[in-house]
Amino acid sequence: MPDQAPIIIIGTGLAGYNLGKEFRKIDRETPLVYITADDGRSYSKPMLSTGFTKEKSADDLAMADADTMAQQLKASVRTMTQVTAIDAVKQEIAIGNENIAYSKLVLAVGAKCIEASLQGNAVEDVYSINDLMEYARFRQAIEEKKKIFIIGAGLIGCEYANDLSNGGYDVESVEPLSTVLATLLPEAASHAVQSALETEKNVKF
């Protein structure tokens, strides 16, 4: 009898790992394979925008490493790995020249930051923080810095403005819309949030 094709989950964020936990409650035997482009550590993404307030490094925010999660979920976790193609007809994924068959495939890749189209000699100093590894790189990059410039004053932008201010940084934010949180709050509430960030946290807009 041929080996059973695994369930493959692409992504080791909260959704991917929680799916595996729930699946293992009803099935302990079906092979389970995770593939992730990062190091596979388990963490809560909302905590990324509270790290400076709570004085937490990336290691502090990590709840478990990939090996620990693999043991907990009776799974294989392939880290730092990019899926290059998906063949839904053959039920295979490709990782470079390697093809892996699957019985079921789950895409748990999460959201992706909108990349700003920027030019100039400081582009390499622009950071998007969307996962734990990016958070670690950002923290290291600003260790000797005093001022942080944030592009965007939506929910995450405002959270980071507050968090970085709490961490002792001089924060300035730019937002193309007329108010902060413009797509989430009525204008009066948006102005109240902006005023609080300006007066209580010294954030400049």
Radius of gyration of the CA atoms of the chain, in A: 21
Q: What is the mean pLDDT of each run of 10 residues along the chain (205 residues)?
A: 86 97 97 98 96 97 98 98 97 96 97 84 90 96 95 96 98 95 96 97 96
pLDDT of residue 111: 86
pLDDT of residue 2: 57
Domains and CATH numbers, the chain: 7-107 (3.50.50.60), 123-201 (3.50.50.60)
Helices 66-73 and 14-26 sit at what angle, rounded to 10 degrees? Answer: 20
CB of 73 closer than 8 Å to CB of 65? no
Model confidence, pTM: 0.88
pLDDT of residue 116: 79
pLDDT of residue 1: 43
Catalogue the long-range contacts made by 65-73 (C-beta closer than 8 Å, 24 or more residues apart). 65/39, 65/40, 65/41, 66/12, 66/36, 66/39, 66/40, 66/41, 68/42, 69/12, 69/17, 69/34, 69/40, 69/42, 70/34, 72/21, 73/17, 73/20, 73/21, 73/24, 73/32, 73/34
